[in-house]
A and B are shown apart, each in its own frame.
Chain A
Amino acid sequence: MGASAIDVLILGVSHRTAPVAMRERLAIVPEAVEATLAELTALPSVREAALISTCNRVEIYAAVEDADRAAQALAEVLAQRAGVTSLELGAHLYERRDTEAVQHLFRVASSLDSLVLGEPQILGQTKQAHEAAVRGGTAGAVLNACFQRAFRVARRVRRETAIARNPVSVSSVAIELVRQVFGDFAGRQVLVVGAGKMSELAARTLRTHGATLTVTNRTRARADELARRFGATATDWDDLPAALTRADIVIASTGAQRPVLTHAMLSQVQRARRGRPLFLLDIAVPRDVEPEAGRLSGVYLADIDNLQKVADEHREGRKSEAAEAEAIVEQEVGRFVKAWRGRQLAPTVTALRSHVLGLAQAEATRVAAAMPSLGERERRALSELADGIAKKLLHLPQMALRNDDSDGLSMVAAVQRLFSLQVVAAAATEDDADEDDGASARAGEHLVDDKKAAGR
C-alpha cells in the first residue's frame, strides 16, 4: 500500500475524448462483462475491477497495488480488445487516480459528465456496473465503498439541485405540457395521426401513464400495423372528425405536404366538444395543423419549434445548476477521503492502545504478585499508575497519527511495524459509508480520554 489516499484507478474513454468510432470498438456487451472483469482482475497489481460501458463512455474502475503498472496493463488489454495500437488508444484514453478518481466516479454517477447534463440513465448504468462486479466477485472493499458513496452523492445532487428537474427532450417536454392541461393521463384519449419516430415515443409514454391510444393513417393497413406496435386501436382516416371529437390529446406527425388538421375541421370538432380542452402536438415538418386552429377556444397547439425551444431553455437551465452540483461533489469527495483515512487509522489506533495498555497492566499485576503484603488500596494505586503512564505515552503518537494528513498511511505502517501490531483490517460492507464517520469518531474518542489522562 503506497502513501496515496485511496488506491483507485480509472482508465477510459468518453464522448469528451473519443469519437463514436473509437467508443464502439471499445464497447463491451453486457454478456461479456463478467468474463472481461475476470480477465482484468487476473492482471498483476489489479485487485478489484468494475466496468461501465454505455454509448457515451467505456471506463474501467480498478483498485490497484501499483498504479503505474496497473495502468499500463489495463491500457494494453483495452487496446487489444479494440484492435488498435496502444499509441492510437492513448490519444483518447484518460486516467484518474486516488482522490481524482473518486471525484470522477461521483461526477459520472451524478450525471455531471454526461452528454445531456442531468440525464437519469447514467445512475442506473453505474449501479448495473457495480452489481456486475459484485456478481463476478471482482468488487471488494475499495470499489464497494466508492460506488456506494457515489450512489448517495448522485441522489443528493438530484435532491438538492434542479439539474434533472425540467425535461430536455422534445417528447418529454410535450408530455409535461400536456400534463399542464390535464393533470394526469389516466383514462385520457390520445389520437395518433401519422407515424413519426417522436410521436411513437410520446404515445408510448402516455400509454404507460394510463392513456388510451387510437391510431389513424391514410392507409388503413399502415394504421393497423401501427396500432399493433403501439398497443392501440386503429380507426379509418375518414373517421378523423369523429376521432378528434373523442380525443383529449392529438399527436400529429404525418408526411403530408399540406396541413391535414385544418382550422375549419377543428372549429367544427370543437363545437361538438362543448369547450372540452384539446391538446394538439404537431411534431410534423411540414406542419400538420393549421396554425390558426390554435386560436380556437379550448384548443392548445404546440409545434416542433415550440417544444424544441422549451427543451433548449431547460438545457441552459441545467448548465447553471451544474455549478451547485459540482460543489456538492467536491464536498462529498472531501468527506469520503477523510472518512476513508479514518477507517484505515482506527484499527491501528485500537491495536496500539490495547498493546500498550495490556503491557502496562501485565507489569502492574506482576509487581503486585511479588509483593503479597500490599493492601487493596495500594494495588489499585499501582494499577492506576501503570495505566496513567501508558496513556500519557500513547497521547502524542496518536495525535501524530490523526493529524498526519500528507502521509497518513505510511505513518500507520510505521507504527504497525514498530510495535509489531497485528491489525485486523475493517471489512468493507454495504454500510461502510455510514460507519466511516463512526470509526474516525471512535479514534477521536480515544484521544479525548488520553488528553484527560495526560492532564492528570
Chain B
Amino acid sequence: MATLTAVEIGVYALAAALYLGYLLGLRKAADKVGRLVLALGVVLHFCDIAARCIHRVNPISSTPEAMSLVAFLIALGYLLATLRYRLAAAGAFAVPAALALLVLARVVPAETDAPAMGSLGRAHVLLASIGVAVFALAAVLAFLYLFEDRQLKRRQFGRVMGQGTPLDTLDRLALRCVSIGFPIFTIAIVTGAMWVARLGLLRQAAALRPEYLFAVATWIAFGILLVARLGAGWRGRRAAWLTLGGFGGALLVLATYFLRHAA
C-alpha cells in the first residue's frame, strides 16, 4: 500500500508539473500528456482508497483519510470537467491543490482518540468531503477568473489570447459548482451538528471549537454568494472573490482538524 501511495503521489506530481508547464507556455504537452497522466493518477488513487477499504481503513474513518478523499474528488471532478471544457489553465491550480492535500493526508497519522463515528458521523464526514471538494473546484475557477481578468485589465492581450478559458465560461462553471456544493455542505453541517449533539459535546467546554465557527462562516459566505447571484444576478470579480473567501473558510476548517491531530 505504501508503494502504491508513493507511485500515485509521483504520478500526480508529474501531472501537476505538466499543468504548471502549460502556464509557462508548453501548451501541447500539458493539454494532452497532462490529462493522460492525471487520469492515471486518479485511477491509482482510486485503487489506493479501495485497498485501504479492504484493510478496513475507509475514506471517512479519519481526518487524513477524508482529506485523501477530497483530493481524489478534486482530481476526478477536474478531469471530468476537461472532457467538456478547455480548462488546461485551471489544471495548473487544481492538480497541485489535489497533490498537496494528498501529501498532507499521507504524512499525518490518523487520530487515535477519534470518537465512535456511527452513521451520523460517517454521513457528516462523507458529505463534508464532497462539499469541500466541489467548493475547491469553484475556488480554482474563481482564481483563474481573477487571473485572466487581471491580464485583460492590464491589457496583456498577447498573453491571454488563444489560451485559457473564456471568462464567461469560468463564471458559469463556478456558479454551477457552488450550487451543487452548497446543498451538500448544508446537509453536512446539519448532520455534523446532530452528531456533536449526540456525542454530548455541546455541553462541554469544547462547544465552541473554532472549526464550527469556520464551517458556519463558510456556509454563510456561499449562501450570500448564491442568493446574490441567483437573486440579483451578481457576478464577475466580486463573485469570484467571495468564492475564494468561502473556500478559505473551508480550508480553515480542514487546517484546524489537521493541527489538532498533528499536534
Which residue numbers of A lie inside 8 Å of B, CB to CB? Answer: 165-166, 173, 176-177, 179-183, 274-277, 294-295, 297-298, 300-302, 306-307, 309-310, 313-314
Contact = CB atoms under 8 A, between A and B. Distances in A.
B235 A276 contact: yes
Given A177-B157, A302-B157, 18 more contacts: A166-B161, A177-B161, A181-B152, A182-B166, A183-B168, A274-B232, A274-B233, A274-B234, A274-B235, A275-B235, A275-B238, A276-B235, A277-B167, A295-B153, A297-B238, A301-B155, A307-B157, A313-B158
A166 to B, nearest CB: 6
Nearest to A274: B233
Contact of B164 (A180, A300, A306, A307): A180
Nearest to B170: A183
B162 A176 contact: yes
Contacts of A294: 153, 155
B236 interface: yes
Contacts of A313: 158
A272 to B, nearest CB: 11
B165 to A, nearest CB: 8
The 6 closest A-B pairs by CB, nearest first: A275-B236, A183-B166, A298-B236, A181-B167, A310-B157, A313-B158
Q: Is the contact region of chain A dominated by helix, strand, or loop, or is it mixed?
A: helix
A180 B160 contact: yes
Contacts of A298: 236-237
Contacts of A276: 233, 235-236
B169 interface: yes
A277 B233 CA distance: 12
A309 B237 contact: no
A298 B145 CA distance: 11
B31 interface: no
- Most-contacted residue by chain B among A166, A275, A307, A313 (CB, 10 A): A275
Nearest to A167: B161
A306 B155 contact: yes
B162 A166 contact: yes
Nearest to B85: A183
A309 B159 CA distance: 12
29 contacts: A165-B162, A166-B161, A173-B157, A176-B161, A177-B157, A179-B166, A180-B148, A180-B152, A180-B160, A180-B161, A182-B166, A183-B165, A183-B169, A274-B232, A274-B234, A275-B236, A275-B237, A275-B238, A276-B235, A277-B236, A297-B236, A297-B238, A298-B236, A298-B237, A302-B155, A306-B157, A309-B157, A310-B161, A314-B158
B223 to A, nearest CB: 18
- Most-contacted residue by chain A among B166, B234, B238 (CB, 10 A): B166
Nearest to A270: B236
Interface of B: 148, 152-153, 155, 157-158, 160-162, 164-169, 232-239
Given A180-B148, A180-B160, A310-B157, A275 B166 contact: no
Q: Is the contact region of chain B dominated by helix, strand, or loop, or is it mixed?
A: helix
Nearest to B167: A181
A158 B236 CA distance: 37
A302 B155 CA distance: 7
Nearest to B236: A275
- Most-contacted residue by chain B among A180, A298, A301, A309 (CB, 10 A): A180
Contacts of A180: 148, 152, 160-161, 164, 166-167
B80 to A, nearest CB: 19
Nearest to B155: A306
- Most-contacted residue by chain B among A176, A182, A274, A302 (CB, 10 A): A274
A300 B153 contact: yes
A274 B158 CA distance: 28
Contact of B166 (A165, A181, A301): A181
A338 to B, nearest CB: 31
A277 B235 CA distance: 9
A277 B161 CA distance: 17
- Most-contacted residue by chain A among B160, B164, B165 (CB, 10 A): B160
Contacts of B157: 173, 177, 302, 306-307, 309-310
B145 to A, nearest CB: 10
Contacts of A173: 157, 161
Contacts of A165: 162
B173 to A, nearest CB: 11
Nearest to B161: A176
Contacts of B152: 180-181, 300
A166 B161 CA distance: 9
A56 B43 CA distance: 56
Contacts of A277: 167-168, 236
A294 B157 CA distance: 14
Contacts of B169: 183
Nearest to B152: A300
Contacts of A307: 157
A163 to B, nearest CB: 14
Contacts of B161: 166, 173, 176-177, 180, 310
A301 B234 CA distance: 21
A297 B235 CA distance: 11
Nearest to B238: A275
B8 to A, nearest CB: 34
A173 B162 CA distance: 10
Contacts of A310: 157-158, 161
A295 B160 CA distance: 18
B168 to A, nearest CB: 5
